[in-house]
Chains A and B, each alone.
Chain A
């Protein structure tokens, strides 16, 4: 039995068990995909705190909607859609709340303290700054496509299924994202760009 088949079978067993109400199987399924869900959420939101909330919401929705997973698409594709929908809903809520918070903030002079300041190690902060510097150049859609294809290795066909989008549209977003990211990379290496006529 190949490694891939074994992985597929163990995943199927977890999904079957979780659908039948086996809590241990559900936990197994979550443990297996937890970091992946967070990563998707992070690429989608571009914000660590928001990504944590999206991950949490996705776990609740995973439990609620798993019965509806019929195996017609890959589990990853289905789970990605659950994550995206959780991210979109939370984003809407946050936008509403942010409007209210802005009102309060305008009336207050209190200094905001970043709760993550003590939790993050220097390496994490450096990584976080790097990611932020790059990803903030991209739109939400470009960010998620660039992360899925170039950084996580999904094919454009897989991503088009995950996002329910034409492959040609996926590629178009991908190219724009690459151009923005690579432009940023080359900004710190002007000697490499010298001599090219733009």
Chain B
């Protein structure tokens, strides 16, 4: 009996939960059914595992599912924007570079933001500078107003 119990004890440590309860036809299950001592060990192991399962079941996410869903939505949107940038960004950059190269090839360098362009010949000057002075005319957002600077 002692040898049987020792062998059974080792197997109880690895047995399926049903065998711990003495269910089934396996050697260890049969032994558990017949031996009160091993039955007590099997029962204790089952209780311990059930407590662990219960404890794990109690551990639910702190983040509510609605919050998790909206956070996931925000992350998806960000990822989508990033993806679109990488998808279309290089195309747009290539198009811009091609445009600049074409304009350069046609002879005229493109105007950059803030650059002052040549005054078209057909335009009659708004104001003439007095002798010895220069004049500069600034456009404003209000089309009826212009700033004239003599210097």
Contacts and interface: CB of A to CB of B under 8 A. Distances in A.
Q: Do A and B bind each other?
A: yes
For the complex of A and B, list the 9 residue pairs with the smallest distance between their C-beta atoms, beginning with the closest.
A185-B48, A127-B55, A59-B72, A127-B58, A175-B14, A38-B61, A151-B53, A130-B55, A34-B65
Contacts of B51: 130
A52 B61 contact: yes
A27 B17 CA distance: 36
Given A31-B65, A56-B63, A185-B45, A131 B40 contact: no
Interface stretch (B2-10, B115-123, B124-132, B143-151): B2-10
Interface stretch (A14-22, A98-106, A161-169, A189-197): A189-197
B44 interface: yes
B6 A151 contact: no
Nearest to B51: A130
A36 B132 CA distance: 86
A189 B58 CA distance: 25
Interface residues of B, number: 36
B59 A30 contact: no
Contacts of A141: none
B59 A48 contact: yes
Contact of A60 (B2, B41, B54, B79): B79
Interface of A: 27, 30-31, 34-35, 38-39, 42-43, 48, 51-52, 55-56, 59-60, 63-64, 116, 119, 123-124, 126-128, 130-131, 134, 147, 150-151, 175, 178-179, 181-183, 185-186, 189, 192-193, 195-197
A196 B2 CA distance: 8
B71 interface: yes
A27 B67 CA distance: 12
B6 A197 contact: yes
A156 B8 CA distance: 23
Nearest to A51: B61
